[in-house]
Structure 1
Amino acid sequence: MRPNQLSIFLTVPGLTLASSLLFKGGTIIAFDNQTESLQVIRNGSVLVTDDRIETVAGPGAPIHITNGTEVVDITGKILAPGQVNTHFHGWQTAFKTLGSNTSLVEYFSRYGEFAAAGLLSPEDVYVGQLAGILESVNGGVTTVLDHAHHTWSNATAEAGLQASVDSGVRVFWAYAFHNITTITPNFLVPEQLANFRDLASNASFRGSATEIGIAYDSFGPSPNVAEVNAIISLAEEFKVPVITTHSLQGPWGIDNSPEDLLNLGIINSTIPFVLSHASFLTASGAQLLRTFNHYVSITPESESHYGHTHPHSHLIQDQAAIGVDTHFTFSSDILTQTRLWLQATRRRLYGEVLERWQVPDNNPMSVNQAFLMATRHGGLALRRSDLGIIAPGAKADLVVWNARDSPSMLGWNDPVAAIVLHASVGDVEAVLVDGKWQKKGGRLVAEGYYTAFRERFLASAARIQNKLIQTSSEFPRVGDVWPASGLPIGDTLTVDTLRGNGTGYGGTFLVVDGAQ
């Protein structure tokens, strides 16, 4: 990868590696590898050396530290593992609030990878990707699996990768292979294979927290076998850490299912597959995931917002982690997604008892299970047992929750419940990735650089949003056929918030001097 004039964070002083850090006096949400369960340690300590957790200790346990060790008092606070986002599209930040009422049908025609091709310059991709990742780490996310489908040219691909590197966050940047024919010149998979090889062969990003993976959405139902084989061969050659795909079966017809991977003879790959959404996953598909140890990324808010739904995802939670998806339409933090998933699952399973005219006796899902899906399961989806946990030898990806001063967490006893059910992203006081401070004292460590970067991003977003607002887009409507599955497009009931004939759906805005 060539030196990139877009880069701004490569020499931020706050991102230098701390050789030794001791977190002392707080409540630690650790992980016991022997019992595979969470372990709460009160008045505990965690020693970080370089990029790893060296020691996790209870009260009074001796810890050897050097004279240069930075001691961080976290008395009354909670030290937790960083959250893992297993599905994200960082580059879309500039679209924020434009898709608040959009459907998936409209998304593909207006905001998706093919519709947006030609709309964003490399600079736009860079600042959008960086803004999205910084927004995530601000909320306690330390690892992101980014389905990077901004690969419309060599330049836009490089810009997104460079932004990921510059963020300092642990990003699995998954290069998307897709035939882009909506712009001139076209950018096709053969050219993308060469571009990937160029990026992956260049060592300039090595030593950062970013790794290059692969994203591909044409494994089924009717794959181009030669194209699939070329991509898989490249993945094996470069030993990529992950392959990810959108999987929406059922009426959506965008299968990329476990059965498709089996038919192609690639499901037994040593490379982990992460199937985003896995809507309408079959029972046989679930068994294939378990047999070959591949994971689903459940994105609760996205699947509700767009209508993917998740009818069987609660049955595959042993092979599932949590993701965000299109953060320009809703939350970018994993905390919100985890809470939504926990309560939606509870509601569904309570409902099954109530439908039988019985009264539920027990709560069907615990906060510990939700917490593990947001942290450790994300690491397992990437086959990284050193991510998403606090344990000796694990990566030093840590979050300090200010449970001492937060009004919403005041009075907590169970630290897991305090985070999952009561905290907000505003309670994230500090974040470490690879032993490096990314947020400290409630502020991003790149704050001094953030002001200048923010102006770059706002200029980019204003141009993109104005163009989109002024551009009408045609997309399939009721009575048309959904091309991926050949099924008819139907209409949903629109709920009413006003009496009479109106619905109040769109709301009204009074615009004064250009402000809403």
Structure 2
Amino acid sequence: MAAKSSSSILLRGGTVLSHDADDHVIPLYDTDVLIQDNIIADVGKNISSPSEATEVIDCKGKIISPGFVDTHHHVWQTQLKGRHADEGLVSYMVSGNMMSYVYTSEDTYWGQLSGCLEAINSGTTLVLDHAHIAYTAEHATSALAGTLDSGIRSIFAYTIPLRMTQWDRSSCVPNQDLLPEWALTQLCDWAEKYNYPTSESQATTTVEIGMGFDFWFLPREMVLGMFERLRQKGVRIVTTHVGRNAFQGLQPTIPMFSSYNLLQVPYPPTNTTPTLPFLLLSHCTGLPSIDLSLLASTGTPISSTPDTESQMGMGYPVAMHPSFTATRSANVSLGIDCHSSNPSSIPLQARNLLNLTRVEYNSHLLADDKFPAGSVKGSSEEAFNLATIRGARCLGLDAQVGSIAKGKKADIVVFDAAGSVGMLGAAEYDPVVAVVRFSESADVQFVIVDGVVRKRNGKLVDVHVSPAGVTGESLGGGQGNTPTPWSKIAEQVRKTAKEIQARVDALSLEQGRKTLLATLHTDQSSLVDAA
């Protein structure tokens, strides 16, 4: 069944998870939500259907939630899934991050499209995609095409990866052109086209262009000059990886960002005054409390990714650190990071964050031969908000998405609570707890992005695959072809994964590791395995 865009949709009689002015979640029972075009037109009881053409969805026994917001994700990596299950960050950097080297533009399209659809399947409606797949202009074009064809709402953070001029069994030679002009030109052209749309077709797209950047060793004047150029073209957001450890670096980065005047509250698309983009920092593990307090006081947004941070040796996820829980002005959120190593479910990240936070706090008591008296740190409501309204706030989009309210964009997830095995009992007791602690992707019955149903009755809706997007001739929107079901997309992912693996087999991962560590100037004596 093709993606259906109704002029109006009425969600009838569900439990609506609404937010008050202080971010408290207020369940509204037996409540309707009316969507007209891409906007939530009304929330209330017994809303009249505006026309006979309105699609009415019976939501009795269902939970109607804001769509989930994912603020850090490398969406292109689908074909690499599974290989990082037992790897730490150093190994992943070679077997995952650097593997853009073996991707063709066609591989990129199918990896990106399926990665976006996997996110939608789990209830994600908005993703900040740290897209470090811009190996060539064609790679970047195919990634953007896959994003557009999926229908997800995305901030596509165009990222130039560490590229190689040669990599085989005997050598791995890095490309010294870190910021090629073709890439900056393409990025700026896209920002003008999508961030300041001039046509109706562009205005209805759900993609905004940002940038991913990690080359902070470059001169200050070069970095800030580039950022000013990007902002003039309409780029609001630059995202970067931050962590203090022996691999990522022990030098203080937060004071540097402060001296660059880059620590600031996210601003919305309507604000054209700032001369620089704002930074969204991913991870921030290992930072001293003084740096975390500075980030909290300035409102600088952070994305915490509990699965990868705990597995890959990056440290305790900071999203529920006291610096961020003490004040509503602090901006923290959740991300997936690498769906090649963990599922693309934001509720699962929220659940993992709660557990890790409680382990962290309780461990200090246990080390003192004491025991928790009964209460635990962190609440399901806090975790739910990190996945919804606070995620949107980190992107400067909280006036548009992140909660269910009249006038906001229609980004909505419907859970089949009555039909769920895992949510049974919990949904009746506390619907927020049911979503955070007990839901699975299989319980997501409907996903609506910008007023369009993208998952219906528990199955992904077919999408229009853009052949031109694969070849790099144009950008997405292949509306003239027959809608393609998920099964056919999965076939292409399996096919391209085999071809990618054949190219990986022709490389020396050890040579790649040596090049990586030399490029990062890593003290290899500090790299040891956990006892």
Q: Normalising by structure 1, what TM-score?
A: 0.86
- Is residue 246–residue 256 contact of structure 1 (8 Å, CA) maintained in 2? no
Question: Which of residues 41, 53, 78 is equivalent to 1:68?
Answer: 53
Question: Which of residues 409, 416, 424 is equivalent to 1:410?
Answer: 424
| Separation in structure 1 between the aligned mates of residue 193 and residue 16 of structure 2, nearest angstrom | 39
Are 2:221 and 1:226 equivalent residues in the alignment?
yes
Question: Which of residues 449, 452, 457 is equivalent to 2:488?
Answer: 452
- Is residue 133–residue 169 contact of structure 1 (8 Å, CA) maintained in 2? yes
State the one-letter code of the partner of 1:427.
D
Correspondence for 1:53 = 40
State the one-letter code of the partner of 2:377.
P
- Is residue 272–residue 382 contact of structure 1 (8 Å, CA) maintained in 2? no
Q: Deviations over 1:93-142 (max 9, x none)?
A: 11111222122112222321xx3243111101111011111011001111
Correspondence for 2:475 = none
| Separation in structure 1 between the aligned mates of residue 519 and residue 366 of structure 2, nearest angstrom | 35
Equivalences for residues 101-112 of structure 1 within 5 A = 101-112=86-97
Are 2:505 and 1:492 equivalent residues in the alignment?
no
Q: Deviations over 1:211-255 (max 9, x none)?
A: 111110123xx3322331232112311222321001112323446
Are 2:237 and 1:242 equivalent residues in the alignment?
yes
| Separation in structure 1 between the aligned mates of residue 407 and residue 246 of structure 2, nearest angstrom | 45
Deviates more, 1:271-280 or 1:335-344: 271-280
Equivalences for residues 121-200 of structure 1 within 5 A = 121-178=104-161, 180-183=163-166, 188-189=178-179, 190-200=181-191
Correspondence for 1:281 = 287
Q: Deviations over 1:299-318 (max 9, x none)?
A: 01001221111265432354
- Is residue 246–residue 527 contact of structure 2 (8 Å, CA) maintained in 1? no
Shift of 1:446: 0.8
Task: Give SS of 1:432's match.
Answer: strand
Task: Give SS of 1:284's match.
Answer: helix
Distance 1:454-1:94 versus aligned 2 partners, 3 A rule? same
Correspondence for 1:37 = 24
Shift of 1:490: 3.4
- Is residue 321–residue 374 contact of structure 1 (8 Å, CA) maintained in 2? yes
- Is residue 272–residue 383 contact of structure 1 (8 Å, CA) maintained in 2? no
| Separation in structure 2 between the aligned mates of residue 432 and residue 97 of structure 1, nearest angstrom | 29
Which blocks of at least 5 consecutive residues in structure 2 are unaligned? 167-173, 195-200, 265-273, 464-482
Measured on the aligned residues, the alpha-carbon RMSD in Å equals 2.4
Question: Which of residues 439, 454, 468 is equivalent to 1:438?
Answer: 454
State the one-letter code of the partner of 1:373.
L
| Separation in structure 2 between the aligned mates of residue 271 and residue 207 of structure 1, nearest angstrom | 23
Equivalences for residues 263-412 of structure 1 within 5 A = 263-268=259-264, 271-310=277-316, 312-315=318-321, 316-317=324-325, 318-361=330-373, 362-385=375-398, 386-411=400-425, 412=427
- Is residue 283–residue 318 contact of structure 2 (8 Å, CA) maintained in 1? no
Distance 1:82-1:311 versus aligned 2 partners, 3 A rule? closer
| Separation in structure 2 between the aligned mates of residue 482 and residue 399 of structure 1, nearest angstrom | 43
| Separation in structure 2 between the aligned mates of residue 273 and residue 172 of structure 1, nearest angstrom | 13
Are 2:82 and 1:81 equivalent residues in the alignment?
no
Distance 1:217-1:185 versus aligned 2 partners, 3 A rule? closer
State the one-letter code of the partner of 1:367.
S
Q: How many pairs were matched up? A: 473
Q: Normalising by structure 2, what TM-score?
A: 0.83
Correspondence for 1:425 = 441
Task: Give SS of 1:155's match.
Answer: helix
- Is residue 482–residue 488 contact of structure 1 (8 Å, CA) maintained in 2? no
Correspondence for 2:208 = 211
Are 2:78 and 1:93 equivalent residues in the alignment?
yes
Are 2:259 and 1:259 equivalent residues in the alignment?
no
Q: Deviations over 1:129-161 (max 9, x none)?
A: 111110110011111100011011111111111
State the one-letter code of the partner of 2:315.
T
State the one-letter code of the partner of 1:41.
L
State the one-letter code of the partner of 1:40.
P
Deviates more, 1:374-383 or 1:188-197: 188-197
Q: Comparing both chains, which one has the higher relative contact order based on Cα–Cα distances under 8 Å and sequence gaps of 6 or more? A: 2
State the one-letter code of the partner of 2:308.
S
State the one-letter code of the partner of 1:223.
L
Distance 1:365-1:482 versus aligned 2 partners, 3 A rule? farther
Shift of 1:404: 0.5
| Separation in structure 2 between the aligned mates of residue 63 and residue 256 of structure 1, nearest angstrom | 58
Deviates more, 1:14-23 or 1:62-71: 62-71
Q: Deviations over 1:384-411 (max 9, x none)?
A: 1122211112211111101101111112
Shift of 1:357: 2.6
Distance 1:111-1:285 versus aligned 2 partners, 3 A rule? same
State the one-letter code of the partner of 2:493.
F
Which blocks of at least 5 consecutive residues in structure 1 are unaligned? 1-12, 495-516
Distance 1:296-1:485 versus aligned 2 partners, 3 A rule? farther
Task: Give SS of 2:484's match.
Answer: helix
| Separation in structure 1 between the aligned mates of residue 388 and residue 355 of structure 2, nearest angstrom | 18
| Separation in structure 2 between the aligned mates of residue 216 and residue 35 of structure 1, nearest angstrom | 33
Distance 1:449-1:187 versus aligned 2 partners, 3 A rule? farther
